[in-house]
């Protein structure tokens, strides 16, 4: 029989231990903060881009920088995991030479895997993960990402994106889990938990950065960095829930958004950053700017720094190096002056730095020397590729299956694969793959293209032929046509016309003319206008941007698994219906939100 008195005594003792352990941590942060000079505090608030540090990496030590990032096309010249690990180690070594030896948080846009490495596993983009409706696989995907990051010494992922994409024309639609706030909040929490693990102090955990606060998916016309013109009730109902749940789940960093809310830029929005996020929602982590985000505020650079920091920004992401406008040296110099002149109060600086140091403490960076937590052999491992393949399988949405043409038989005598996208890893992975806008080239990374996956799926007696333009398919038992969007990312991905390209249409037309069973696999970062092509294919599969493991697509095509994916976006019939979202009145889309067939 349980001794309740003894149990209560044990519980009280445990609470006492936990409280005692937590208190010294806060005291250690305060003690460290009290020992810092103003210049060291401002240094902690500064995140310099790695490209800006070229030839000046000693500035990490000179200015006691708090963070370094990679992004926007400033990756390493050599992009293997070995070189990434070497670069991170060198930077942490420079941080260790500062007076207080405070390690760096090393940030990277690991948005669908550790996607800046040639040998890493590229996961499906968020639009596909949203279609899985499976929080467990999303968490597993993020866990793999964190492990591969930490193998190279990276400890901060600029993910998850909890934008609620409400206009398909937006070039970042694929970074969103979907158009419904409930789906986004569920998947965003799963992704955050996968990155951060059970504890941030675990060496294989990565700090998550929930983004982009707030309303980035709701801009008028789907314009990137545009104006979200909604009342506060709508902002809270659609765009805020993902942050509320993420904070409850342990979010410790949040990225401010480029967009405006009713004409006011978020990077200078005190009400939303301080009153709502830090006050009402009790977010105790730190807010980081987006890439040069403060530069879009009115006035001089000095005015922009004062406005953003006073509004609640804690760390500034600064892409430019010395000799260029608005660089990290200018930021440090001007912010120091602003504090000395009383324009930015010291209390605001102390609050920002306390938040940053607290998170670094929680990450274990102030208690141990940072470095690769696991061996480089984990990067791109079979186990990790297995997780990615499973995610692809679950993300596939079957939109049409006339006369049950799918699943295909592995004993077919001849299968033709058509379309240039079938053997192009850059199209299969999309943006944020090696380069910011995506890397052009059929073999940009390791993995399996859909063409090669088809070749591996069929039996020994089958013949697989490949035609980029669709010719030569007259005698095929079935034709798999793979078409899709060229890679793109923010700024350059906005489109006014979402119709499939003329070149891709021509391939489908050529194959359709043969009369052979035609399966169209669509690779895209959003719903594409295809209404007039629906009669020209027997089966239509939305494979989104599946990443490096094309075998996950063919697992569904050949019936190893049945499709289970459901649309995370309403699919419009024509551009006249754009934007269209679940719950809109009087809509008649081509496919409704949540649609998806199975076998």
The gap from C-alpha 160 to its chain's centroid, in whole angstroms, comes to 5
Over the Cα atoms of the chain, what is R_g? 25
How far the first Cα of the chain sits from its last, in Å, is 54
Which of these is catalytic: 75, 168, 180, 290? 290
CA distance 171 to 271: 28
Q: Is 490 a catalytic residue?
A: yes
Cβ-contact 228, 284 below 8 angstroms: no
Which of these is catalytic: 490, 504, 549, 555? 490
Give the residue ranges of DSSP H helices in 215-294.
232-234, 241-248, 270
CA distance 486 to 534: 22
Q: Phi, psi (5° rounding) for residue 579?
A: -85, 150
Can you name the residues that pair with 265 across neighbouring β-strands?
260
CA distance 421 to 438: 14
Burial class (CB in 10 A: 0-12, 13-18, 19+), 99: exposed
Cβ-contact 123, 158 below 8 angstroms: no
CA angle, corner 519, sides to 484 and 526, nearest 5?
A: 30
The gap from C-alpha 321 to its chain's centroid, in whole angstroms, comes to 26
Please, what's the b/e burial string for 104-131 (b: 16 or more CB within 10 A of its CB; e: otherwise)?
A: bbbbbbbbbbbbbbbbbbbbbbbbbbbb
Give the residue ranges of DSSP H helices in 469-565.
502-512, 551-557
| The pairing of beta strand 264-265 with beta strand 260-261 | antiparallel
CA distance 336 to 121: 42
Q: Is 314 a catalytic residue?
A: no
- Kind and range of the H or E element at 148? helix 135-151
Q: Phi, psi (5° rounding) for residue 417?
A: -110, 130
Q: Show which residues are catalytic.
A: 290, 490
């Amino acid at each position: 029989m349980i001794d309740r008195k003894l149990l209560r005594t044990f519980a009280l003792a445990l609470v006492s231990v936990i409280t005692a352990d937590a208190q010294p941590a806060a005291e250690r942060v305060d003690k460290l903060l009290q020992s810092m000079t103003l210049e060291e505090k401002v240094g902690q608030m500064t995140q310099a881009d790695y490209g800006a540090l070229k030839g000046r990496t000693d500035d990490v030590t000179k200015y006691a920088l708090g963070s370094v990032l990679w992004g926007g096309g400033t990756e390493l010249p050599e992009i293997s995991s070995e070189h990434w690990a070497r670069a991170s180690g060198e930077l942490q070594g420079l941080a260790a030479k500062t007076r207080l030896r405070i390690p760096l948080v090393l940030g990277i846009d690991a948005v669908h895997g550790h996607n800046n490495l040639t040998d890493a596993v590229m996961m499906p983009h968020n639009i596909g993960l949203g279609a899985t409706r499976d929080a467990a696989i999303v968490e597993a995907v993020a866990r793999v990402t964190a492990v591969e990051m930490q193998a190279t010494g990276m400890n901060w992922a600029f993910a998850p994106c909890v934008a609620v994409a409400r206009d398909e024309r937006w070039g970042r639609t694929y970074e969103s889990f979907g158009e419904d706030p409930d789906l986004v909040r569920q998947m965003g929490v799963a992704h955050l938990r996968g990155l951060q693990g059970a504890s941030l102090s675990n060496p294989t955990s990565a700090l998550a950065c929930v983004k982009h606060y707030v309303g980035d998916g709701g801009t008028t016309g789907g314009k990137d960095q545009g104006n979200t013109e909604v009342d506060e009730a709508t902002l809270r109902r659609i765009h805020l829930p993902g942050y509320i749940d993420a904070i409850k789940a342990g979010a410790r960093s949040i990225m401010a958004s480029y967009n405006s809310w009713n004409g006011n830029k978020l990077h200078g929005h005190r009400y939303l950053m301080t009153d709502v996020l830090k006050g009402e929602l009790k977010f105790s982590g730190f807010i980081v700017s987006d890439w040069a985000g403060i530069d879009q505020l009115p006035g001089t650079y000095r005015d922009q720094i004062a406005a953003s920091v006073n509004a609640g920004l804690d760390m500034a992401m600064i892409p430019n190096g010395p000799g260029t406008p608005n660089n990290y040296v200018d930021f440090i110099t001007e912010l120091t002056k602003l504090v000395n002149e009383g324009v930015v109060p010291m209390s605001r600086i102390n609050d920002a730095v306390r938040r940053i140091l607290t998170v670094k403490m929680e990450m274990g960076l102030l208690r141990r020397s940072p470095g690769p937590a696991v061996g480089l052999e984990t990067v791109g491992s079979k186990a990790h590729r297995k997780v990615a393949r499973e995610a692809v399988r679950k993300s596939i949405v079957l939109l049409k299956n006339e006369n049950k043409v799918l699943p295909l038989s592995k004993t077919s005598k001849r299968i033709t694969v058509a379309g240039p996208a079938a053997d192009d890893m850059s199209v299969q992975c999309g943006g944020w793959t090696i380069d910011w806008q995506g890397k052009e080239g059929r073999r940009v990374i390791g993995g399996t293209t859909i063409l090669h996956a088809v070749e591996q799926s069929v039996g020994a007696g089958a013949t697989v032929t490949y035609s980029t333009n669709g010719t030569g398919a007259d005698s095929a038992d079935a034709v798999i046509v793979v078409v899709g969007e060229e890679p793109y990312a923010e700024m350059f991905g906005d489109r006014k016309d979402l119709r499939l390209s003329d070149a891709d249409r021509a391939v489908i037309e050529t194959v359709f003319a043969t009369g052979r069973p035609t399966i169209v696999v669509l690779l895209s970062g959003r719903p594409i206008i295809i209404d007039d092509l629906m009669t020209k294919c027997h089966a239509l599969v939305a494979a989104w941007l599946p990443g490096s493991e094309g075998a996950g697509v063919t697992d569904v095509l050949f019936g190893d698994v049945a499709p289970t994916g459901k649309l995370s976006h309403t699919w419009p019939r024509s551009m006249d219906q754009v934007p269209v979202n679940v719950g809109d009145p009087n809509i008649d889309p081509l496919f409704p939100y949540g649609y998806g067939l199975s076998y």
